[in-house]
Amino acid sequence: MGEKNHLGEFELIERFFAPLSGEGGFGLKDDAALMKVSPGKALVVTQDAIAEPVHFLPGNPPETIARKALRVNLSDLAAKGAVPTAFSLALGLGDAWREDWLEGFARGLAEDCRTYGLTLSGGDTFRTGGGTVISITAWGEIDPAQYRSRLTARPGDRLFVTGTIGEGALGLLAHTGKLPSLSAGTRDILERRYFVPEPPVSFAPLIAEFASASMDISDGFVGDLEKLATASGFDVEVNVPDIPFSREVREALDSGGVSPDRALESALSGGDDYQILFTVPESRVASFLEKAHKHSETGENTLVTPLAVIRKGSGRVRVLGDNGEPLEFAATSWRHF
């Protein structure tokens, strides 16, 4: 404990965060950042925060906390069709903060800056009276005509989802010992997805080009689909056999521990997916799928799964189980409050 807290704010920024600064960030030596925007483009801006112990625990690896704090924002941008360029960070440290924690945190951020081609523009370090709080604001450029809100799906459009559903929620169950029969390899994969989500960032240009409406799945597949349906005004039925599950999720659903029904409910409503739910006008589905196929050949391999055709309505979502009966959920998404 003799090692902790001897760095001042200036040294802390200089040592851990200034190396992540880029153009317009002035080496984090200034009060603000200057963000140029290409002619004809606008910025998409999002701000999401995570806090200890609600979203992570003191013992979690700081690298993964940093990457998750950043990636939950990249997920929002991808769902809007925007490729991220920079972010700012307000980092609130509790009294128990330690340099080695901060070092791991900065290392995780640096890794993702390289992965996604991002720079840190600035922000704030401050003390909290309690646990660590991480608030990130991220942005990216977009042709404003290609911004994809969740308000603009039209009846007859086809509903799609990227990637696979349920790893995050089942990863949390596995991490907290609620899926004891899982093989170690499967548990590792699910937990890793819970700690470090993999939003389909490189898929953003296809959302921009083809989607009629789009949002990211963060609070739960069913609940977020309800939000999309409510915002755009449609009804939809989704069959569970059409929902993309990974091999690991299928193993978890069958593994015992919690009942298969409860595990399925978690996978569909527990959140932490960070995939994209979006609609494509029927007339453009063929060309969309062709481009999506080409995109996956680049090695990015974003799975795209059609789920249903949406109907005029008012936000009603029915999820039909293997037997064709509608599933009942205690809650369709994770509630923040």
Rounded to whole angstroms, the Cα distance separating 106 from 100 reads 10
Q: List contacts with a second copy (CB under 8 A).
A: 5, 7-9, 12, 24, 26, 29-37, 39, 42-55, 76-77, 79-80, 82, 88-90, 92-94, 121-131, 133, 135, 137, 139, 142, 144, 147, 149-151, 215-216, 231, 335-337
Q: How far is the CB of 5 from a second copy (least distance, A)?
A: 7
Task: Indicate the residue among 56 and 245 with the shorter CB distance to a second copy.
Answer: 56
Q: How far is the CB of 63 from a second copy (least distance, A)?
A: 21
Task: Indicate the residue among 124 and 282 with the shorter CB distance to a second copy.
Answer: 124
Task: Indicate the residue among 123 and 166 with the shorter CB distance to a second copy.
Answer: 123
Token pair in block for residue 110:
């640096």
Cis peptide bond upstream of 155, omega within 30: no
Task: Indicate the residue among 150 and 187 with the shorter CB distance to a second copy.
Answer: 150
Rounded to whole angstroms, the Cα distance separating 194 from 64 reads 10
Task: Indicate the residue among 55 and 193 with the shorter CB distance to a second copy.
Answer: 55
Q: In 58-98, which ranges are continuous DSSP H helix?
A: 62-80
Q: Which residues contact 264 (CB under 8 A, 6 or more apart)?
A: 240, 253, 327
Task: Indicate the residue among 39 and 299 with the shorter CB distance to a second copy.
Answer: 39
Q: How far is the CB of 36 from a second copy (least distance, A)?
A: 5
Task: Indicate the residue among 170 and 276 with the shorter CB distance to a second copy.
Answer: 276
Question: How far apart, in Å, are the Cα atoms of 214 and each of 92, 149, 182, 208, 293?
Answer: 32, 6, 34, 9, 19
Q: How far is the CB of 86 from a second copy (least distance, A)?
A: 9
Give Dmax (Cα) for the chain: 66
Q: How far is the CB of 27 from a second copy (least distance, A)?
A: 9
Q: How far is CA 218 from the centre of its chain?
A: 6
* φ/ψ (deg, to 5) at 125: -115, 140
Rounded to whole angstroms, the Cα distance separating 19 from 136 reads 17
Task: Indicate the residue among 9 and 242 with the shorter CB distance to a second copy.
Answer: 9
Q: How far is the CB of 138 from a second copy (least distance, A)?
A: 9
Task: Indicate the residue among 76 and 251 with the shorter CB distance to a second copy.
Answer: 76
- Which run of H or of E encompasses 268? helix 260-269
Burial of 28 (0-12, 13-18, 19+ CB in 10 A): buried
Q: How far is the CB of 179 from a second copy (least distance, A)?
A: 25
Residues 197, 68: contact at Cβ < 8 Å? Answer: yes
Q: How far is the CB of 47 from a second copy (least distance, A)?
A: 4
Q: How far is the CB of 122 from a second copy (least distance, A)?
A: 7
Burial of 25 (0-12, 13-18, 19+ CB in 10 A): buried
Amino acid, res. 213:
A
